[in-house]
Amino acid sequence: MGAALEVRDLSFGYGDVPVWEDVSFSLAPGQVAFLVGPNGAGKSTLFRCLAGWLAPREGEIRLLGSPFTGRTRLEPGTLSFVPDVPTFYDDLTAIEHVELILAANRADEARPRAEQLLERFGLAGRERLLPSAYSRGMREKLALVLALALRPRVLLLDEPHGPLDHEASLVLSGELAAAASEGTAVLLSCHHDVPGLNPDLTLELADGTLRPAGGLG
């Protein structure tokens, strides 16, 4: 089976200052990988490159075997990205965000899963509020609902457990394990142990280099 996400010799910098260089790794369908490393190592920058938000200086990203850049038109359900600080439309309620994402991805069959996720993350009964009325943790939960409902082939999550309490972290870990069991390749960054989820691969980004690291449990 081919790689869901493959990164070849990726480099990024600002002007003459490199952030990281020669980043290479691959994820098979159903694999879960943790990305670790100190603050300032460039983990969020790497996620933005993988999601097509930033253009790398060199190298190649391949999704499902095909080259990918920010200009690539993807089939619905291919890639979902939750950044470290999710943003939302100012004038749409939480449930309207759900409706928009389902419609944009032609994924009406995912509606029961979205409703279940709202319940599991404790947003049921609050879904008609604007995200601006939510706490940071609630905004993170909404972003995760939008991403997980689609069951994408590749799921990128930048520090998703950070804003969550322990109970919500366990819910997230369970949902990620379920998505992986259905073939989603998951890459998430973390600073601490992640409750209830064991990675197949742990990568450490430090001093401008990506290398395999010991697992977190």
pLDDT band at 171 (very low <50, low <70, confident <90, very high): very high
- What pLDDT does residue 215 have? 46
Architecture of domain 5-88+153-212: 3-Layer(aba) Sandwich (3.40)
| Over residues 97-123, mean pLDDT | 96
The number of CA neighbours under 13 Å toward the Cβ of 172 is 28
Residue 136: CB atoms within 10 A of its CB come to 12
Domain ranges of the chain: 5-88+153-212
pLDDT band at 1 (very low <50, low <70, confident <90, very high): low
pTM of full prediction above 0.75: yes
Q: What tens digit of pLDDT does each residue of 45-80 get?
A: 999 999 999 999 999 999 999 999 989 999 989 999
pLDDT band at 16 (very low <50, low <70, confident <90, very high): confident
- What pLDDT does residue 216 have? 46
Q: What tens digit of pLDDT does each residue of 135-156 get?
A: 999 999 999 999 999 999 999 9
